[in-house]
A and B are shown apart, each in its own frame.
Chain A
Amino acid sequence: MRWLFNLSFRHKIPLWTSFLIGFSIFVVGAALMTRAYEVMKSAVVISATNLGHTLANTVAPTLLHDDVWRAFEIVRSPIRGESARTPVEVDAVVVLTKNHKVFVSSDPDTLPMLAEAAALGVDWQQLSAQFGAGAKWPLVLEPKGSMYLYVALPITDNDAQLGHLVLRYAKSVFHPWFIDTIWQGLGIGLLVLAVLIPINWYWGGRMAAPLVDLAQRMGMMPETVPQPLPPDLYPYRDELGQLFQAYDRMVLALRDKAALENEMVKSERLAAIGQLTAGIAHEINNPLAGLITVVDTLKLRRDLDPRALRSLELIDRGLTQIRDTVAALLVQTRVQARPLNQHDLEDIHTLIQPQVSKRRIRLDWSAAMPAELPAPASLVRQILINLLLNAVQAAAEGGHVSLWLGRKDDSESWLSIVVRNDGTLLGDEQLAHLFEPFTSTRAGGHGLGLWVTYQIVTQLDGRIAARNIGDQVEFVVNLPLGDVICTTA
């Protein structure tokens, strides 16, 4: 039985409603049948009473004059054939004398003349027992387990009680008539079922489909964050609709949370790398400064043979390269702070122009800014140059790069920089490690440009993010505006 309750709603709703429809039809049908039986019975009693009064009046003189044959003709007159065919057709008519003996009956074989009523069977015993004073006429008797229904009336002549007239109706005649009614009822019931069940299955399926969908999605929950439900799945505002809306809100919240966690992991990793590189850079820088000084001093000596001098110059170039590399790794944001102005942007535009022209890039320049902005000019310039050069390199030959610079959402406190290019889209793996050092996305790059940009942005308490949007790659930098005095890394 439990499996029935474990069924999917897809089946359970239609099954239950079908069962309820069937049950209702059965109950209503049974009630109507009972009613039909009562109506039939009362029709029989009314017809019997009318017939009974007529017969009682007609048969009274024959009782008075003991005219058996006339009485027989009278009681036999309503009998049509061997057996009654309709429920209101009387099966037998019996005239009982005052002493409850059969005076005459329409069926002398089974109800012979002069027989004691009580000797005719249990039905007749019950019947004659009720003939006493105070009986309510017409007396209707339907003995338990009996095949017959009896209707009795007194036969009187000028208030003198002469006997009783009993009409007997065969219930077996009711049955075919009743079965006809049942078949008719059953036919109508089946017709109603035939109409209701498909509607019910359609409705139940419609009702269950979103629930089933929801259950499947929620079942995936701990492992993956499922997709939100399609908006047209259940566009109504009832409890089910509210449930789906709550589910959608929950899914969105979960996705935000997952994205946040992802971001946190990434920035923590980048911060660790930053600390590590800064540590290493300091450790290298200290002996490096001594070495460079020694090499410089040695180079000043005149007594060096040309081979030694070439070696010294080789060492000097190598040490300088080490210093440059370390300097690049060790991003210094502690610089003279000057607010960003219109000229800075013009400078940058001029600076990147050769690269843009060389690669025949179409550049959209949209910088909506006042004369001055409270942002550190040199750092913003570095960010802009890095991002724009990066974009120009990433874009295809003859491709498209755009810059948008302005206040974020018209806010007073944030500066927004958006750079897009139509180059190759970034893969998931690339997106995950984009801002780490020495991860170049193209041949020829040393992979420090984005690392430096990231370091600057984070040290300025800003945000940087990259994503694919449509067929373009977008970098967004948000920097807080305000105090131009900057902290150092």
Chain B
Amino acid sequence: MNQDTPGLLPNRNRRRWLIDSGCVAAAGLIGLTRKARATASKLRVGMTPAFLHDQHSLLDEWRDFMAGSLQRPVEFVQRDSYRETMDLLRLEKLEFAWICDYPYLHLKQEVRLLAVPLYEGRPYYRSYLIVRKDNTQVKSIADLAGSVFAYADPYSNTGYLTPRYQIRQLGRDPASFFRKTFFTWSHRKVVEAVASGLAQGGSVDSYIRDTLLQVEPSLALRTRVIWRSPEYGFPPFVSHRSVSDTDYQVMQRHLLDTNKTEAGRRLLARLHLDGFTTGSPALYEGVARMMRAFGED
């Protein structure tokens, strides 16, 4: 199986996705009722492995904060891969989601940009190329040719698209550049895979790696960053296009105002974020360029 082709998923998943998509189309008529019910009842927010998503207590705190602020029941939906969250969005099983920039561009037709988190005061992050701390030979991705490489997720920009783009820039085929590649389905686990020596190199979200340095330095310090990518727009919050304008604005207002309350700031501190901004699709032009290089729209 060629893991370097994002569109190709295990057969079962692809089939399910196709069926589900068909269902969505067929259920167009009842979409309104469902939307009405969703609006009246709780808001469903998809959380992706875009951050350290195994911090359950943090998620609970955030959800309670959001529900209290919106005066609405809120449900956080966690999935192990971007793909699953994307599917839930497509199926309108989520009103909002925090997704990676790369899936956002994939889902541009279905979602609207809601807000962009501010990391170190700016809505940007990067991709890091990491190797193990004791590996001093590797200076750039070119030195990793023929090695074992850990990707985060096939729908991750920093954990998949960027390194492949790099390889392509070297004039090599990402499908054959490495001896072996695998997905860990989480940025944190990429760090773990590299630290344990399972993979000689990995590509990871700068926000995750830097946060790890603070919350789990024993793991993070076993890796070394050998290359930093240009800045990309930070993984955004999106809303499905079916979400009403009111809900959209209420949620956007809530996010933008997070750093205006004490509880919000405490929450942001735990998330290692500074706040939210409205952002613009132009932030993601760099990703879109890389996608075009791979023939994706």
Contact = CB atoms under 8 A, between A and B. Distances in A.
B147 to A, nearest CB: 10
A65 B10 contact: yes
Nearest to A105: B198
B185 A69 contact: yes
A112 interface: yes
A66 B1 contact: yes
Contacts of B197: 108-109, 112
Interface string B182-207: 11110001000100111000000000
Contact of A113 (B1, B180, B183, B189): B180
Listed from nearest, the 10 A-B pairs whose CB atoms lie closest are A68-B182, A108-B197, A69-B184, A108-B198, A109-B197, A113-B148, A69-B182, A72-B198, A66-B1, A114-B180
B53 to A, nearest CB: 16
A108 B184 CA distance: 16
Nearest to B132: A109
B257 to A, nearest CB: 39
Chain B interface size, as a band, is: 10 to 19
Nearest to A68: B182
Given A66-B3, A67-B182, A112-B197, 12 more contacts: A65-B1, A65-B10, A66-B1, A68-B198, A69-B183, A69-B198, A72-B196, A104-B198, A108-B198, A112-B148, A113-B148, A114-B179
B150 interface: yes
Chain A interface size, as a band, is: 10 to 19
A112 B200 CA distance: 10
A336 B27 CA distance: 172
13 contacts: A67-B183, A69-B182, A69-B184, A69-B185, A69-B193, A72-B198, A76-B196, A104-B198, A108-B197, A112-B148, A113-B180, A114-B148, A114-B180
Contacts of A112: 148, 197
Contacts of B179: 114
A68 B148 CA distance: 11
A163 to B, nearest CB: 15
Interface of B: 1, 3, 10, 148, 150, 179-180, 182-185, 189, 193, 196-198
Interface of A: 65-69, 72, 76, 104, 108-109, 112-114
A280 B1 CA distance: 150
Contacts of B182: 66-69
Contact of A69 (B1, B10, B189): B189
A113 B200 CA distance: 10
A328 B180 CA distance: 145
A299 to B, nearest CB: 157
Contacts of A65: 1, 10
Nearest to A69: B184
Contact of A72 (B10, B180, B185, B193): B193
A153 B183 CA distance: 27
A104 B199 CA distance: 11
A69 B150 contact: yes
